[in-house]
Amino acid sequence: MNSDISTGLYVEDHPGPGVPRVFLNGIGMTTSHWKPFREHLKPGRDVLHDFRDQLRSEKADAPYDMLRHAHELASLLDRLEIESAALIGTSYGAEVAMLFALQYPERCRSLVLIDGVSEMDEVLSAAVESWKVAALADPRVFYRCLIPWNYSAEYIAHNRQLLAEREEAVAGLPREYFEGFARLCDAFLQLHITDELKQIRCPTHILVGELDILKTHRYSELMQKHIPGSSLSRIPGAGHAVVIEKPQACASLTQTFLDSLPG
């Protein structure tokens, strides 16, 4: 299944054994970015989709908040006849995962929250505002604004050619992609759910890149403090885009957590 006409979302449904795993993108990702991470997990049924306004899904016609993604995920799971799933989200996707767990607790078997936040300070808000302005102004400026916030110094130093190729790809995207990205930024900037996290009851493991300067370990520690029974791991040498920088380490911690769950 590569698209769902009823929802307008780009969807991938990969068959496999066990509890379905749903992967939720970071704000600038598309489903293919999860491939190196997924290659280091045990086989399973994996469901991936681009959120509305992301690369391969339909674009919104009005502003919205992040709850829309949670409700659209519930509808998508209905279409796929999935009653409940293990959610694995990074950054924007981690935040949608928490919202889903709050709105649909009976459908959320477990959470893996990678470099997410439940609120934001002025630095994070300013960073995301700058991305929005750059996205609407110039694709190359936009991409270069993302690099220092998302990647560690070591990754940048060793992947200059790859980053240059990605810049070329981004520069060729249509205007509607950048308008959609701006709406995603606006949705994120409304997020403040710290006080609600105590309502999350499913097993939860939190991962954070040790060198993340965007959504720092302070946010992950805050989430661990408020989500009952949750655990926290730091991934050495990784910036914010940890699922891209350190997919094997990130997947290993995720698999260990999933293996520890009953059933």
Confirm whether 182 is domain-assigned.
no
> Which three-class secondary structure string do you get for 213-248?
CCCCHHHHHHHHHHCCCCEEEEECCCCCCHHHHCHH
Whether residue 236 is contained in a domain is answered as: yes
**CATH code of the domain in which 95 resides:** 3.40.50.1820
Confirm if 171 and 143 have CB atoms less than 8 A apart. Answer: yes
- For residue 178, being part of any structural domain is answered with no
User: Which residue segment(s) compose the domain that 27 sits in?
Assistant: 11-121+192-259
Q: What is residue 6's predicted lDDT score, i.e. its pLDDT?
A: 57
CA pair distance 22, 24, nearest whole angstrom: 6
The CA distance from 74 to 85, in Å, is 11
Locus of tokens 């981690």 = 94
Q: In what order do the strands lie in the sheet with 21-24?
A: 11-14, 46-49, 21-24, 85-90, 108-114, 204-209, 231-235
CA-only gyration radius of the chain, Å: 17
Show the CA angle centred on residue 71, arms to residues 119 and 129, nearest 5°.
35
pLDDT value at residue 4: 56
CA distances from 130 to 95, 113, 135, 239 (A): 20, 25, 8, 19
Please count the structural domains in the chain: 1
Q: Is residue 104 part of a domain?
A: yes
180 within some domain? no
Residue 13 forms beta bridges with which residues?
47
State how far the Cα of 107 lies from the Cα of 77, in Å rounded to an integer. 9
Is 20 among the domain residues? yes
* pLDDT string in tens for the chain (263-residue length): 565 555 799 999 999 999 999 999 999 999 999 999 999 999 999 999 999 999 999 999 999 999 999 999 999 999 999 999 999 999 999 999 999 999 999 999 999 999 999 999 999 999 999 999 999 999 999 999 999 999 999 999 999 999 999 999 999 999 999 999 999 999 999 999 999 999 999 999 999 999 999 999 999 999 999 999 999 999 999 999 999 999 999 999 999 999 999 87
Q: Is residue 107 part of a domain?
A: yes
In a domain, 24, yes or no: yes
